Amino acid sequence: MKELLTGNEAIARGAYEAGVEFAAAYPGTPSTEILENIPKYKEIYCEWAPNEKVSVEVSVGASMAGARVLTAMKHVGMNVAADPLFTYAYLGVNGGFVIVSADDPGMHSSQNEQDNRYYARHAKMPLIEPSDSQEAKDFIIEAYDISEKYDVPVLFRITTRICHSKTIVELGERKNVGVKAYSRNIEKFVATPARAKVHHYELEEKLKKLEEYSNTTFLNKEEINDSEIGIITSGISYNYAREVFGDSASYLKLGFTFPIPKEKIINFSKKFKTIYVIEENEPFLETEIKALGINVIGKEKIPICDELNPDIVREALLGEKTDRIEIVKEKVVSRPPTLCSGCPHRGIFFELSKRKDTVITGDIGCYTLGSAEPLNAMDSVVCMGAGISAAHGFAKVFEKTGRKTKVFGIVGDSTFFHSGMTSLLDIVYNNSNVCSIILDNRITGMTGHQENPGTGYTLMGEKAPVVSIEKICEAMGIKNITVINPNNLTETKNALNFHTELNEPSVIIAKWPCALKRFSEEDKKQFDLSVKKYKVNPDKCKKCRMCTKTGCPSISFDKEKGASIDINTCIGCSVCYQACPFGAIEKVGEENV
């Protein structure tokens, strides 16, 4: 049977067909839909872990116990997970272990575009790169065989355009490999220095065997045409190369890219006058191929920064530009992403934006958009957890220099569970005057609404204990914790005022469900989520634009007519209603006559 699947859907399917028994991940674009597609395969146990490191560690345990396991994450998630990975590469597996890294060249939804192929070389793990959904499914099945045969975890590297492109996949049946036997094996699985020394020698031997495999596997294949140009490429770049050169070049398409197939590359290169290496971002293959003494053209022509497409490859290597229509620049205004209509983060950022002399350290999530126009209420965003820990650094330096600026650290609920908790612990332990604001919108928002330890449900749809952020903060020793409804501006402002005056670690929990969330029964009981509508009374509007400073996409402003609210998209959060100094915004159905 043929289906149109994204790369992420295909990986989930491949895991199912490969007989995977256990899967874990933390959501992160562009990897999220891999695990989201696992629950439909009832044979697989799956879960959202609180962060990528935990996800890898539970997967390590499951692999030791004898199951084939899948763990998936976005590229920066692998930085979080690196610790267990490097050592598990030494130890080797029991059940096959595959870790998927979804890299984001072009940074569609990321803070950097690191090339995680280097992790394979760094951690000494074999590396597989599919170029479309069919390969994603087929290659992952092969990945489990490699993992078990060579006794190593395997890195399966994909990129945004593989993850989120739908291509045709021929489905197969599930292999019932079952769960392997487990019995205690201290020599293999306990990484003490003396044993790790032995493991390192063993791993080097495994890599030699994997290089032999690399030279013979079907994952690395030649496509020879009558040409003077030979192209060595991998992943999505193969498709761009085919698109540009068609049958006018020959290809060495690499699906297994660490260890590289040295012999195969040398033999291929001898056949052609010119060799191009086409790869996105870093010269991962190019550096290794040049080290073989082969003269290739790569990054001297193909850009390192940003993602590739056929256009860029064509221009870089052939110097040809396609005909195109010029944009009339004055007819286009930028359209950056914004907080949605009714977003519960708006109230808090609106109030923060009005405060003078503050530092606001942000974090990764929808609330990063608090840094956007017109709110501009953020000083920094680095990585998950840094919203809280960077605040501590700021506060300590300010304390040292006598600067009175209040520091607010921002983090979301899921991000708090991910790595904000340890950051808050540092604030308490080393005592800084930081007010941490936890934006608890009852869901993992940016990645498209995944459950987390605070939502009361698991990835498999089962009920789970609702972990209380408030009680965690209390247990850590925070004395002043204020829970607010961030849609209530007075409540929000009062809380900010109170916590500004404190000279101790403190916490504000802004609790209101994401406007786009499918509300749970608990949400409906706890919050008034009925849809209301607001409108502008044009007779009262003084055209002061205060409502537009909330950055709500439902509000527009006309110099002649003043403000207006799009009734179709307003969900009645009432932030603009409270922001208007002239009472010109009225609740539909309760207009002042």
Q: Which residues bind another protein (CB under 8 A)?
A: 2, 4, 29-30, 32-33, 108-109, 132, 160-161, 164-168, 236, 238-240, 242-243, 309-312, 314, 322-328, 330-340, 366, 368-369, 372-374, 446-448, 545, 548-549, 551-553, 555-557, 568
Buried b (16+ CB within 10 A) or exposed e, 494-508: ebbeebeeeebbbbb
Nearer to another protein, 396 or 543 (CB): 543
Task: Indicate the DSSP class of residue 327.
Answer: P
DSSP per residue over 60-120, as a string? HHHHHTT--EEEEEEHHHHHHHHHHHHHHHHH--SS-EEEEEEE-TT-SS-S----THHHH
The nearest distance, CB 317 to another protein, in angstroms, is: 13
Nearer to another protein, 352 or 427 (CB): 352
Q: Is the peptide bond before 30 cis (omega within 30 degrees of 0)?
A: yes
The nearest distance, CB 515 to another protein, in angstroms, is: 11
Cα 231 from Cα 241, distance rounded (Å)? 8
Give me the count of residues in the chain. 593
The nearest distance, CB 260 to another protein, in angstroms, is: 23
The nearest distance, CB 177 to another protein, in angstroms, is: 31
The nearest distance, CB 307 to another protein, in angstroms, is: 9
CB of 376 closer than 8 Å to CB of 346? no
Nearer to another protein, 146 or 366 (CB): 366
Nearer to another protein, 180 or 549 (CB): 549
The nearest distance, CB 33 to another protein, in angstroms, is: 8
Q: Which residues contact 416 (CB under 8 A, 6 or more apart)?
A: 388, 424, 438, 440, 469
Residue among 342, 352, 339, 356 nearest 551 (CA): 339
The nearest distance, CB 110 to another protein, in angstroms, is: 8
Q: Is the peptide bond before 50 cis (omega within 30 degrees of 0)?
A: no
Residue among 353, 345, 347, 361 nearest 432 (CA): 361
Nearer to another protein, 168 or 292 (CB): 168
Residue among 224, 238, 40 nearest 134 (CA): 238
Cα 443 from Cα 520, distance rounded (Å)? 10
Alpha-carbon dihedral sign for residues 203, 140, 58, 49 = positive
Nearer to another protein, 205 or 560 (CB): 560
Nearer to another protein, 33 or 288 (CB): 33
The nearest distance, CB 585 to another protein, in angstroms, is: 15
Nearer to another protein, 221 or 479 (CB): 221
Nearer to another protein, 167 or 274 (CB): 167
Neighbours of 363 (CB within 10 A): 31
The nearest distance, CB 129 to another protein, in angstroms, is: 15
The nearest distance, CB 155 to another protein, in angstroms, is: 22
User: What pairing do the DSSP bridges indicate for beta strands 220-223 and 249-254?
Assistant: antiparallel
Cα 157 from Cα 5, distance rounded (Å)? 18
Side chain identity at residue 490, one-letter code: T
Task: Give the Cα-Cα-Cα angle 356, 357, 363 (nearest 5 degrees).
Answer: 100
Nearer to another protein, 292 or 567 (CB): 567
Nearer to another protein, 291 or 567 (CB): 567
Nearer to another protein, 481 or 573 (CB): 573
The nearest distance, CB 337 to another protein, in angstroms, is: 4
CB of 23 closer than 8 Å to CB of 148? no
CB of 285 closer than 8 Å to CB of 279? yes
The nearest distance, CB 528 to another protein, in angstroms, is: 24
Nearer to another protein, 186 or 332 (CB): 332
Residue among 290, 175, 308 nearest 232 (CA): 290
Give 562's strand partners.
558
The nearest distance, CB 331 to another protein, in angstroms, is: 4
Neighbours of 33 (CB within 10 A): 22
The nearest distance, CB 84 to another protein, in angstroms, is: 26
Nearer to another protein, 273 or 331 (CB): 331
Here the tokens at position 148 are 């078990």
Cα 117 from Cα 139, distance rounded (Å)? 16
Give 97's strand partners.
69
Here the tokens at position 24 are 């874990």
